[in-house]
């Protein structure tokens, strides 16, 4: 067993490019099986036989069908090490045709599958629950075309977000989304989760930026909606079915994305703030003072930054404050933009909304500050188990849940912190405990979802429903909408082979 753990550690390291994730994963112990932890009953799919494996080896070749336990293990475990599946097969297709052949076969054999991109999802959607066959898109990583004038990029779904961003930056464009997992997550995973990220406030969500999609239905039919047009009102907007449906309605094989122009000037401010009410006042003021150049407005409380600084040994460029705000501008004139942000800083220091802060246009300093913000997500992993919540709330009530939870948990958690995308009304609440217990889980859930529902909020702002939240989806979805979701699932995937146990509550 210990050899297996060691091998697992090495394997995870070798597939991992993201620094934070590597640090976090090294202290590797196997999470409990999801089916046992959450008491799930296996649905009536067929079991994978050796004849099935032989078929996959025939169409993909031996080396793109993983069946060794130690090879398969990392693909069974999710990023926060909460979920563990029991798959014995990982398939690595290289083309849409191969994906189509795999799905056609699995559908006829009633074999369940789990589509997997970079496996950075935070709701357990990217790993199997039982023995679902993992279809991993890592090898579908080609850029197909880029129209440098319109900004339309067409690529395969397994392209890593950061690689795409580097590719288009060399051509004076940027990807319309950015997130801490960019070094590992794939554009197909981003599309499937409708990922939000750090600049949604400026560039909008993927339902707007994705121009077209090619996807494969459960029965192997390839659906070609891969237009790269900004405007196309020819009937139903079918691409949206695949955006945000977390691999339950089809498997995305290609994506056309609109890339905005590379900003000539980027400026970043990092500020200390006394209380959350002052953050709201600052947000209001930033929208007026910075106008069209505002590209991000993020917050983190002291506990979020302190845990990240301590656990990951990262520098905090300013002193300790109860809250922190990160304000970024994307514009075209460095002198003008940094002057605007500096003026904002001095005005709001005079008003008392900002206690202290720093403004920079130096790329290395910008990188250091963003790195601190982006590392919060993984900071608790070295300390124990992390419960993660990702909710939308009216801005007035954005931070209410954090102090409420601290009181409710009454010292049972090592730390409770809140941070997130203020500009999008989306807060992330992380509760770090020495280890997962059902008792703490039952204090948090459904309490948090009930509170969110009281404010007409969303129980998942950007991470999706995945495996962890289908039984809570009713807190945010009306029965009429839920029924239509079930009807669509039935139409697109009548045998239910695509990512079962995810998104939809039991049908
Ligand atoms: P995976 O995790 O592999 O899969 C996610 C879901 O999509 C699963 O249900 C899977 O079945 C499905 N899927 C994957 N690929 C396909 C495909 N080709 N076809 C069909 N279905 C597919 N999310 C945000 O929204 N905003 C953030 O700011 C953010 N920051 C993060 C920071 C860190 C450090 C981490 C670890 C995660 C963060 N996330 C964030 C969550 C996660 O990165 C996103 O959900 C991301 O879009 C997942 O992409 P992936 O390629 O890793 O997909
Ligand atoms: C972020 O904004 C991500 O950093 C991750 O969405 C949030 O892990 C989390 O709680
Ligand atoms: Zn986020």
pLDDT tens, 334-382? 999 989 999 999 999 999 999 999 999 999 999 999 999 999 999 999 9
Nearest to 389 by CA among 331, 192, 267, 398: 398
Q: Is the pLDDT of residue 20 over 80?
A: no
Residue 23 pLDDT grade (very low, low, confident, very high; cuts 50, 70, 90): very low
Is 234 exposed, middle or buried (CB count within 10 Å of its CB: 0-12, 13-18, 19+)? Answer: exposed
Phi first, then psi, for residue 24 (nearest 5°) are: -65, -40
Q: Which atom of ligand 2 is nearest to the CA of 390?
A: 10
In this predicted structure, what is the pLDDT of residue 382? 94
pLDDT digits (tens, 9 = 90+) for 161-217: 999 999 999 999 999 999 999 999 999 999 999 999 999 999 999 999 999 999 999
Residue 29 pLDDT grade (very low, low, confident, very high; cuts 50, 70, 90): confident
Q: What does DSSP say about strands 90-91 and 415-421: parallel, antiparallel, or unpaired?
A: unpaired
C-alpha separations of 145 from 73, 167, 168, 211, 270 in Å: 35, 11, 11, 13, 37
Residue 24 pLDDT grade (very low, low, confident, very high; cuts 50, 70, 90): very low
How many CB atoms neighbour CB 310 within 10 A? 12
What is the Å distance from ligand 1's center to 205 Cα?
A: 14
Q: Which atom of ligand 1 is nearest to the CA of 115?
A: 11
* Both structure tokens of 432: 């770090």
pLDDT digits (tens, 9 = 90+) for 116-175: 999 999 999 999 999 999 999 999 999 999 999 999 999 999 999 999 999 999 999 999
Q: Which atom of ligand 2 is nearest to the CA of 373?
A: 4
Report whether residue 132 contacts ligand 1, using a CB cutoff of 6 Å. no
Residue 506 pLDDT grade (very low, low, confident, very high; cuts 50, 70, 90): confident
Domains of the chain by range and CATH?
3-26+263-377 (3.30.70.2190), 31-136 (3.30.43.10), 143-258 (3.30.465.10), 384-492 (3.30.70.2740)
Q: Is the pLDDT of residue 10 over 60?
A: no
Is 77 exposed, middle or buried (CB count within 10 Å of its CB: 0-12, 13-18, 19+)? Answer: buried
Question: To the nearest whole number, what is the mean pLDDT of the chain?
Answer: 94
* Both structure tokens of 289: 């003072």
Under a CB-based contact definition with an 8 Å cutoff, are residues 502 and 466 in contact?
yes
Q: Which atom of ligand 2 is nearest to the CA of 428?
A: 10
What is the Å distance from ligand 3's center to 171 Cα?
A: 27
Report whether residue 117 contacts ligand 1, using a CB cutoff of 6 Å. yes
Q: Is the pLDDT of residue 37 over 70?
A: yes
Q: Is the pLDDT of residue 9 over 50?
A: no
What is the Å distance from ligand 2's center to 268 Cα?
A: 20
Residue 26 pLDDT grade (very low, low, confident, very high; cuts 50, 70, 90): very low
In this predicted structure, what is the pLDDT of residue 43? 98
pTM tops 0.85: yes
């Amino acid at each position: 067993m210990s050899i297996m753990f060691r091998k697992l550690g090495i394997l995870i390291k070798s597939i991992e490019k993201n620094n934070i994730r590597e640090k976090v994963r090294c202290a590797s112990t196997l999470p409990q099986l999801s089916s046992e932890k959450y008491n799930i009953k296996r649905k009536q799919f067929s079991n994978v036989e050796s004849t099935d494996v032989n078929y996959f080896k025939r169409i993909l070749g031996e080396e793109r069908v993983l069946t060794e336990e130690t090879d398969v293990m990392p693909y069974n475990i999710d990023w926060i090490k909460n979920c563990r599946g029991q798959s014995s097969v990982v398939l690595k297709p290289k083309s849409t045709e191969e994906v189509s052949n795999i799905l056609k076969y699995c559908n006829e054999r009633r074999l369940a599958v789990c589509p997997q991109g970079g496996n950075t999802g935070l709701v357990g959607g990217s790993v199997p629950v039982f023995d679902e066959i993992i279809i991993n898109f890592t090898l579908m990583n080609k850029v197909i075309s880029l129209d440098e004038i319109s900004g339309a990029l067409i690529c395969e779904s397994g392209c890593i977000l950061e690689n795409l961003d580097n590719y288009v930056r060399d051509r004076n464009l940027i990807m319309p989304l950015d997130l801490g997992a960019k070094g590992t997550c794939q554009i197909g995973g981003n599309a499937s989760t409708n990922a939000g990220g750090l600049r949604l406030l400026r560039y909008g969500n993927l339902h707007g930026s994705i121009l077209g999609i090619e996807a494969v239905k459960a029965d192997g039919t390839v659906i070609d909606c891969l237009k790269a047009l900004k405007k196309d009102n020819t009937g139903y907007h079918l691409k949206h079915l695949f955006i945000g449906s977390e691999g339950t309605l089809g498997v995305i094989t290609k994506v056309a994305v609109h890339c905005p122009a590379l900003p000539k000037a980027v400026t970043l401010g990092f500020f200390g703030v006394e209380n959350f009410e002052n953050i709201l006042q600052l947000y209001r003021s930033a929208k007026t003072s910075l106008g069209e150049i505002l590209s991000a407005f993020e917050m983190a409380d002291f506990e979020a930054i302190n845990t990240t600084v301590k656990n990951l040994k990262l520098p905090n460029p300013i002193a300790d404050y109860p809250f922190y705000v990160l304000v970024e501008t994307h514009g075209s004139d460095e002198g003008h933009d940094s002057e605007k942000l500096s003026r904002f800083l001095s005005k709001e220091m005079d008003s008392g909304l900002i206690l202290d802060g720093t403004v920079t246009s130096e790329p290395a300093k910008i990188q250091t500050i963003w790195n601190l913000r982006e590392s919060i997500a993984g900071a608790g992993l070295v300390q124990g188990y992390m419960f993660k919540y990702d909710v939308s709330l009216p801005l007035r009530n954005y931070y209410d849940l954090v102090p409420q939870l601290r009181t409710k948990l009454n010292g049972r958690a090592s730390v409770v912190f809140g941070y997130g995308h203020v500009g999008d009304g989306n807060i992330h609440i992380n509760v770090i405990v020495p280890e997962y217990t059902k008792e703490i889980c039952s204090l948090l859930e459904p309490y948090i979802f009930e509170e969110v529902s009281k404010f007409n909020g969303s129980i998942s702002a950007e991470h999706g429903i995945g495996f962890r939240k289908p039984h809570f989806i009713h807190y945010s979805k009306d029965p009429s909408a839920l029924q239509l979701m079930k009807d669509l699932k039935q139409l697109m995937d009548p045998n239910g082979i695509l990512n079962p146990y995810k998104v939809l509550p039991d049908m």
